[in-house]
Each structure stands twice: as structure tokens, then as C-alpha cells.
Amino acid sequence: MVEQSEPSWEEPRLPPGQYIPRGRPVIHYGRVPRFRPETWQLHVMGATASGEQHRFTWPEFSALPRTTVMADFHCVTKFSIMGNEWGGISTATLMALAPPAPGVKHVMIWGEYGYSANVRMGDFDRAQTMFALELDEKPIALERGFPVRMIVPHLYAWKSVKWVRAVEYLLEDRRGFWEERGYHNIADPWREQRYSYQEEAGEGPP
């Protein structure tokens, strides 16, 4: 069944410091990977409820129930792309099949080439957070994260990892790729949490 999640049009939609560009800019780190459906797998690892690692092949993962989310997209470089329709698999669906252990408070999302981003469980387990396979009813373009992109629309877009290959449940928080290089651990665009020097007590790992 497809569910539609609409944004609240009564609230301001553009976070402070952001602007709306012409078109849809594309920014990514490293080269665009090649998709090999015969060998592609999504791993769910770390502190799982069973203590074991879960693996989903591309036919298994792509056959999971789909949902759609209408959400804006806010890049830390200050552009925002409004009104994107993402189609894919909710994090709730994945967690039902590969549940986290009690006490998991954080999640590390892993992409190709060892890229990663950490999010709080409250951000991961949220209605609009999803593993997107489509953008505006078409498969996501290669440079935008095909075949699977994490979408965490209420946070800055570096948390929305491209080319997702693994989910790691964490009992303790740990910084991801850009977080280790000076970006804010939480990344709330409404609070302009862009850089680690802005972090307050408790907003990052010890």
C-alpha cells in the first residue's frame, strides 16, 4: 500500500540561510559507482535484536512494500529543493524485518566507498525517513544515488546518504564521514547546525 505524507504548508518551508536555486544541483563526494544488481546487497549489522547480520539481495530489497513521501531537501551549502516526491521503502519496514536490539539509540548509514553518516534513532525511525528508489516517479539518477538513497528530509542533506549499502545499529553515537571532518553531529537546518564548533553539550559523541 502506498502512503502519502504531505508537508505542512502553514509553516515556513525555507530554513534560515537557505535559498531556492534554478534547477536541481547535484553534489557528491567521489566517483559515481556502478550498480551490479546480481551482487548488490544491503546489510543490516551492529546491535541487531538477533545478534546476527541481515542481508537483502537486490530482488529481495526492491520487492519490499513501497511508500511515497513529499518533502523538501536542504543542502548544507545553502540551497533547498522544494517539493520532492520520493518513492521507496520506509525505515519502519526495514526495522520490522531486521529489528535493532534494545538500547540502540543511533544508526550509522553506510554508502559505497566507505562513506557514512550517523543519525539518532529518533531521526531514523521517523515517518518521512526512507530508503528512496525513485524521485518524482522515476528511478533516482545515478549521480543522485541510484539505486538506493537514504532520505532524511528534516536534516541537512549530507545525512541523506547516496548509494546506500549498509545500516549499522549503534549503542553509542559515533561520527560519520563528514561529521569527523567538522560538520555538525545532528544537522538540523532550522537551527542552522552546519558545523561541529556549533555543537552544544550532549549533541555529539564524547
- Domains of the chain in start order, with CATH, are 43-173 (3.90.420.10)
DSSP 40-94: -EEEEEESBSSSS-EEEEHHHHHTSPPEEEEEEEE-TTSBEEEEEEEEEEEHHHH
**Averaged pLDDT for residues 178-199:** 98
What nine digits make up the cell of 121?
Answer: 534513532
- In this prediction, residue 91 has a pLDDT band, given cuts at 50, 70 and 90, of very high
The reported pLDDT for the residue numbered 59 is 98
Q: pTM score, two decimals?
A: 0.92
Tens of pLDDT, residue by residue over 6-54, are: 444 345 689 999 999 988 888 877 789 999 999 999 999 999 999 999 9
Q: How many beta carbons lie within 10 A of that of residue 39, not counting itself?
A: 8
- Over residues 100-156, the pLDDT tens digits come to 999 999 999 999 999 999 999 999 999 999 999 999 999 999 999 999 999 999 999
- Return the C-alpha cell found at 13: 518551508
Average per-residue pLDDT for the chain: 93
Provide the pLDDT for residue 25: 86
